[in-house]
Amino acid sequence: MANLFDAANAPTSIPDSIVVGDFSQFKLTQYSSDYSNSAHTMRLVARISTGNNTEITVAATASGDDYLFTIGSATSANYTVGHYHYQIEIERNSDNERIIVDRGEFDVLTDYDNNVDARTHGEIMLQKIEAILEGKADADVSSYSINGRSLNKFSPDELVKWRDYYKAEVAAHRRKERIKHGKGAGFTILGRF
């Protein structure tokens, strides 16, 4: 693997994810011939998908003929974890006219150094449902009401259905991670000839 702190080794695509507190950089080379970086300014603008006003803006700098985006560790340390939708904007320096040349999505991921729960949503839900099925929760009442507030519990059949759903979700996530890291998907395919 090349030294990713060196701009010469910067990936030439927008990353799928950025870890909070990490240094990150990437270079966009496909726009250089049509939009010279001496006459244009490029920036990435991203907004979190939860609907609030959390926004990330990164201005590119010239790297030869290309556009280099650099996010320092101190900057990304302030990012909010979540799923973001981005757009790449090019502005003509002579009159500040703007066009959007690309749109996409990426994730801002938590830093495991910060004592966070590293489990996926599927893993959390699976563990909770299995704890209920193992009898660690009071299962003798399916619903009750106190002072006008009510609580309904899932039936055992509903819990088994949800357990199976989250088991499949966790298995799919683990397969995806194994494939991402160059390992087998964990399937054994049998055939008879």
The β-bridge partners of 66 are 63
Q: Is residue 54, in this structure, part of any structural domain at all? A: yes
- Give the CB-side neighbour count of residue 52, counting CA atoms within 13 A: 6
The CA radius of gyration of the chain, in Å to the nearest whole number, is 24
Can you tell me the distance from the alpha carbon of 21 to that of 113, in angstroms, rounded to the nearest whole number? 10
Q: What average pLDDT is seen over the chain?
A: 87
Residues 107 and 173 in one domain: no
Q: What digits encode the pLDDT tens for the residues 115-167? A: 777 788 888 888 888 888 887 555 455 565 667 776 677 778 888 888 899 99
> Which has more confidence, 171 or 60?
60
82 phi/psi in degrees, rounded to 5: 160, -175
Residues 123 and 109 in one domain: no
Asked whether 75 and 24 are in contact (CB, 8 A), the reply is: no
The DSSP output letter for 168 is H
pLDDT for residue 32: 92
Domain span including residue 71: 7-113
pLDDT for residue 137: 53
Instruction: Give how many domains the chain has, as a whole number.
Output: 2
Of 113, 148, 170, which residue sits at a domain end? 113
pTM: 0.69
Q: Is residue 68, in this structure, part of any structural domain at all? A: yes
Q: Is residue 17, in this structure, part of any structural domain at all? A: yes
Residues 54 and 146 in one domain: no
The DSSP output letter for 76 is H
pLDDT for residue 134: 81
Residues 80 and 155 in one domain: no
Q: Is residue 61, in this structure, part of any structural domain at all? A: yes
Residues 100 and 163 in one domain: no
